[in-house]
Amino acid sequence: MDKLDKYIKDHRSEFDDQEPAIDLWSRIEADLPSPKDFTWIWKVAAVIFFCTSLYLSLDKFSQSSEENLVAQKETISDDFGDVESYYFQIISEKRDLIYEYDTGEAPIQVDFEQDLQKLDAMYQVLKEELKANPSKKVVDALILNLLVRIDVLNEKIEELEGDDDAPNRDEANKEEVEI
């Protein structure tokens, strides 16, 4: 041990005889720098983190929604395109069949063409709706429109076939009467 340590040990009681002043610690605390309150920084950081997370989540959700909508539009368009071309082919064949019955006596197409024009106008409105808001209901309405067109054409074909069979039926009835 060195001399200072030995002196302190030997004279310890002499050092302990004085008490510090009562306000000593108050003065020491006043001289110390005050601790800074950083809780507001943590609050701001938490709010920024929350807002950023919310924005990224909503952005991700909207992107996936847009991608799903685009995929849904493509799927509906592809599926409907096949169905549409099939029904248009049938409609075209039935129209050709009706025009084959044209004998020149009366314009055959006048009576059913108006119905087909109305259906076509409705069809165009539905097509625009499909572009704006692709949904199963709109596709079903478009298909129903095509089916109604086919029904109108079928009725006209049956009417024309009935007219063609009428002279044959009259001849058959005459033959039955003559027997």
Sorted by sequence, the CB contacts under 8 Å of residue 73 that are 6+ apart come out as 134
Domain boundaries, the chain: 73-178
pLDDT band (50, 70, 90) for residue 132? confident
pLDDT tens for 29-67 read 888 887 777 777 888 888 998 888 888 888 777 766 666
pLDDT tens for 96-113 read 888 887 666 556 566 678
**Cα-only R_g, the chain:** 48
DSSP 179: -
CA distance linking residue 47 with residue 42, whole number of Å: 9
pLDDT band (50, 70, 90) for residue 89? very high
Largest Cα span, the chain: 161
Exposed (0-12), middle (13-18) or buried (19+): which is 142, by Cβ within 10 Å?
Answer: buried
Specify the 3-state DSSP secondary structure of 21: coil
Q: Which residue has the higher pLDDT, 1 or 126?
A: 126
Residue 173 has pLDDT above 50, yes or no: no
CB 142 within 8 A of CB 126: yes
pLDDT tens for 143-158 read 999 999 999 889 888 8
Shortest CA distance to 91 belongs to which of 159, 148, 140, 142? 148
Shortest CA distance to 136 belongs to which of 88, 73, 84, 179? 73
pLDDT band (50, 70, 90) for residue 73? low
Helices (H), the chain: 3-10, 12-15, 24-31, 39-100, 109-132, 136-178
Average pLDDT, the chain: 78
CA distance linking residue 32 with residue 118, whole number of Å: 91
pTM: 0.51
